[in-house]
Structure 1
């Protein structure tokens, strides 16, 4: 067992967690839904995210949501912070050490599809690794050859779609294109993304999906759409705008995620 996992168990207790949830930009308020919460700063856990992006938390929460004991990472480290695609590997390995069988991922993303407007959610069905980097580069074992077919769990996607209908909103599915950032995409790059078959673009998530499958976890991911891609609207794209608009998606996720966790 890793040193961070031992530290967490010493502080929060030995009971296994059912799932790990990673929160994206402007979505940290979802962690407030937990009960019996133990808060552990990332700074106390070796290998946990050490960078800083406004709109992301820097704590690990252990507690209950949807009747299950889970861990919530209130923020992530991105490739664009230090050029390390495997930055989230120590944290996700720790989640597996703690017993997690499911990895739930959220992010804020820009839409390149008129079906998904700012304030909507997009359930991710697949991704395009346009950034080209891979968190398993340097892994010495044959485990690095991860099968990515249906890497976004079909059963969890079906459950989320059904649950969303019960909350009176449609949860459409789409393909997420991972762009390294930190600059936003150009108009030409957005047009390329459309031609490649993407429905949304963002600067995270794909590395964590690869790591999750590498660790044998079921993976589910959902984007909170904060803006249309460059050239698709007149809005001024900025990180400030992303954080502001993510609040709308967070309100929908606050209903969806606990209900999904309950069905794990």
Structure 2
């Protein structure tokens, strides 16, 4: 019986190429508005919605371009070989066309909404190009570059909302994203074992012990930084009950450590809030406390 292959360049494959599951990260554009108390302003919500959609287009283009660059190595990866380009479900020409269209659309919307957001979006694209072409193979710089991408999302949100960005918010964002990036590297190293170097050369410069030490240090600093944020920042001083949100943050990070150390689940941190109910519950409790403290 002949097995029929799915059609090349189908709509489903093109959408999958942009990795919609990763778009959740772009929710960080709303962080500055939430902590500044302006998220209830309808104009701010509209600007954030347009900017968030534009950032999803830009990040989708980044993922498509990254997969174009890595399609040869992805074909021999146990999981990544099923990606649209590596599996042949999307042609290189279609991927280039999709990426170009998404970049043009995303930048046009950003330019319409905010000049500052347009500039940070350009920086976001440049940063990801640097990561794909060079930084992803540089030990430590690879995870720092990933964390900088999260930071640019928050800064873009500050321009979209037209609010002052707290240095505490930026520090917490950077440290938390760095913790997650290190956990992801650890998950990749564990999942691929000796084959890890064949898929990414920089893995030869990492070891589980080295990553564990960095995760312990950065994770501890993240909790300390967020605690100080709730006490010393402008939002914290104006809303003393914000300190209560430290509890779900500490639990959430410790739960994350449990998942990566005992369940070896660090390779895909973006899926953990969906697949792990205790972690999802911690996030929901944190959102409830922050909402009550700032808007109650």
- Larger of the two Rg values belongs to structure: 2
Structure scoring higher RCO (CA < 8 A, sep ≥ 6) equals: 1
TM-score computed with the length of structure 1 as normaliser: 0.31
Structure with more strand by fraction: 1
Structure with more helix by fraction: 2
